[in-house]
Chain A
Amino acid sequence: MEKTDKAVLMQGNEAIARGAVDAGINFFAGYPITPSTEITEFMSRELTKRGGVFLQMEDEIASIAAIIGASLAGAKSMTATSGPGISLMAEGIGYAKMIEQPCVVVNVMRGGPSTGLPTQPSQADIQQSRWASHGDAPAIVLYPASVLECYELTIRAVNLAEKYRTCVILLSDAMLGHMREPITMPDLNNVQIIDRIKPTIPPEWYKHYPDNPKYRAPLASFGDGYRFHVTGLAHDALGFPTTRPDEIKIMAERLNNKILQNHKDLVQVEIFGDEDARVAIFAAGITARAAKAAIKTAQQHGKKMLLVRPLTIWPFPDEAVTKYLSDKRMIIIPELSQGQLSHEVKRVLGVSKKTRRIVELQKVTGELISPEEILNSSREAH
């Protein structure tokens, strides 16, 4: 791809695919599903031309299995899907987390449950992305709000997957995926690309799951001369099944701590507008764009408003919510779901307080929330 300073008109899904290729993704397996199919189609052309591997599998279960398998063999791998597909992938996502194998899953959200609204946007997989698999292991989930961010956060998703040895989910939605915006592609020379560290120690010293608080542990691949075992069963430091409570404790704590203890590295939040405003909006992805427009209009009328926008949905930005929203009189939470984001904000702030109102502005009809609707809901506070 040629890099120029000139802006190019690009679709959100294409930006994700380009970001993936630039991040070093060299293996993609997927299954057709609206509204994510453009990512799969782009990869079928681009990866094949570049000598990577593209596979169209028989279903989404096979797609996630193939990318985890490829990752075991050393590839940087990704898949893309939407609602019904992400439901099918849930078990595989849990497996990738359990065996700590890097991979990236893109979920271009559409209305649900079930077949729902295949061509219309939704933000109703926020909680699904956190809890998809059975068992408890934390998630890393990113959610862009523009075509440029689709590109940037895809690279970040691949980097975080490699760094933390886990399955990272990148959320998008039908609107963001299909809309086009002029973007200026960043100079790749200035973009950090993270690859897993290859082990250099003799194979007999190699531990597939070492205890390393920083969690940049070397990761061997099949065929590298380090013959290791992976299993979805609870396992010891070498990867072999165990039922010993002391060994299981180490494993479970590692899965948890590698994410919980790295909030600073993982959590990204955008703060927009007036920090001293009495009214704040907490919104993510496509809905945050309407929030920004609402704030600009409010400011033109001399009114102050603040937007807190998580780019990292999970781990949830508890610290930023506390810091920026604790003292607000009114917090508007617009979202295309029945309270999946507001649930978290309420969890952090607590609900019952006379001096604070939380306004939940929810839409699950396949339509977007407009800036006017956000402004209307804020009117009471002014």
Chain B
Amino acid sequence: MKKIPQKEIHKYLRHNKKFPHVWCPGCSDGIILGATIRAVAEIGWEKDDCAMVSGIGCSSRMPVYVDFNTAHTLHGRALAYATGIKMAKPRLNVIVVTGDGDASAIGGNHLIHACRRNINLTVICINNNIYGMTGGQYSPTTPHGAKASTMPFGNIDNDFDLCKLTIGAGATFVARTTAYHATEMQSIIKAGFEHNGFAFIEVMAACPVIYGRWNKKGDAPAMMKEMKDQYIPLSVFDKLAPDEKMEKSPRGILKAVLEPEYSERYAELVKSLQSREGEKV
């Protein structure tokens, strides 16, 4: 991982216009924004060639801060908007920022179908296990038993494992990281950017103000420490006994395979049709 000087980062921010940001004290979103920009800077993408698309929610406010081509779209639909952008202009590097509710509840259908198509988008899914923007309702990733404003007696729903979900749906790059592991996050996001195909990166995030309060998790540092303990490298996780695995979650790149990418596949189809058309004449 390359160290990116602070000055370099500012180049990618609409820093003079849009700060201070909307996120609560202790929120992980700023750390994730930083890692995302550093990953872009490391690859050296031009700002004009990058598009950031989001849905609705805390995490989805991110595009306003970056000096890219940016779209804050509708709740759950970021992937469908991003698909249109990518297919209309495949040379753009399209980054989708979304949250657990945005991606897997209201947007769950678009998520599995984007995985299936293997279109070259990088999804940074910020999972804080709750709907923060609307004040703390339970989401599809709120753990079973945890509390939220609409599960005040403890969550009776089962929660999604977003990485297993996207692997099952055919994503060709799936990774999990946390806001605590900020430098690792940067290299994982970079790998996701460089992956030619659909890349899904779940970033575990702390929401001390809402999720933390409902579940007596303590302040932001306490929640970061919990992430540090709970999310262990995949190689370590694999060696655990089955009952030990119940207590921990793997992090790192969980899947990375190369399969034909959708916009390239489409371009090939167009090319073959046009050469066939040429033969006829």
Contacts and interface: CB of A to CB of B under 8 A. Distances in A.
Given A222-B69, A231-B71, 9 more contacts: A58-B110, A70-B87, A73-B85, A75-B88, A77-B88, A92-B77, A95-B74, A223-B92, A240-B18
Interface in B80-96: 80-85, 87-89, 91-92
A277 interface: no
B72 A65 contact: no
A95 B80 contact: no
A91 B82 CA distance: 17
B84 A222 contact: no
A281 interface: no
A55 B88 CA distance: 11
Nearest to A47: B270
B72 A231 contact: yes
Main secondary structure of the interface of B (DSSP, over half): helix
B14 to A, nearest CB: 8
Contact of B83 (A55, A59, A230): A55
B126 to A, nearest CB: 18
B91 to A, nearest CB: 7
Contact of B64 (A65, A77, A240): A240
Interface stretch (B25-33, B47-55, B222-230, B252-260): B47-55
B48 A48 contact: no
A53 B270 CA distance: 9
B80 A62 contact: yes
A62 B91 CA distance: 22
Contacts of A233: 72
Nearest to B109: A58
A209 interface: no
A19 interface: no
Contacts of A66: 80-81, 83-84, 87
Interface residues of A, number: 43
B77 A73 contact: no
B279 to A, nearest CB: 13
A77 B84 CA distance: 10
Contact of B109 (A59, A69, A227): A59
B87 A227 contact: no
B52 to A, nearest CB: 9
Contacts of B63: 229
B274 A69 contact: no
Given A77-B84, A227-B48, A48 B273 contact: yes
Given A48-B270, A49-B273, A229-B64, A69 B74 contact: no
Given A223-B92, A230-B70, A240-B18, A27 B84 contact: yes
A230 B273 CA distance: 36
A241 interface: yes
A53 B80 contact: no
B217 interface: no
A366 to B, nearest CB: 31
B73 A95 contact: yes
A67 B89 contact: no
A72 B71 contact: yes
Contact of B277 (A49, A70, A92, A241): A49
Contacts of A240: 17-18, 64
B67 interface: yes
Given A70-B85, A72-B85, A74-B89, A62 B69 contact: no
B110 A51 contact: no
Interface of B: 17-18, 47-49, 51, 53, 63-64, 67-74, 77, 80-85, 87-89, 91-92, 109-110, 113, 266, 269-270, 273-274, 277
Contact of B84 (A29, A221, A224, A225): A29
Nearest to A29: B84
A207 B69 CA distance: 14
A368 to B, nearest CB: 37
Interface string A334-363: 000000000000000000000000000000
A228 B18 contact: no
16 contacts: A27-B84, A49-B277, A55-B83, A61-B80, A65-B74, A65-B80, A66-B84, A68-B84, A69-B71, A69-B73, A70-B84, A73-B84, A223-B51, A223-B92, A229-B64, A230-B71
Nearest to A220: B69
Contacts of B72: 229-233, 241
Contacts of B69: 72, 222-223, 227-228
Contact of A69 (B47, B70, B85, B269): B85
B32 to A, nearest CB: 19
A68 B74 CA distance: 11
Interface string A200-225: 00000000000000000000011111
A194 interface: no
Nearest to B262: A55
Contacts of A53: 87-88, 266
Contacts of B80: 57-58, 61-63, 65-66, 69
Contact of A227 (B68, B83, B91): B68
Interface string A18-59: 000000000101000000000000000000110101010111
Contact of A65 (B73, B91, B269, B277): B73
B71 to A, nearest CB: 5
B84 to A, nearest CB: 3
B84 A67 contact: yes
B88 A69 contact: yes
A224 B266 CA distance: 23
Nearest to A203: B48
B53 A69 contact: yes
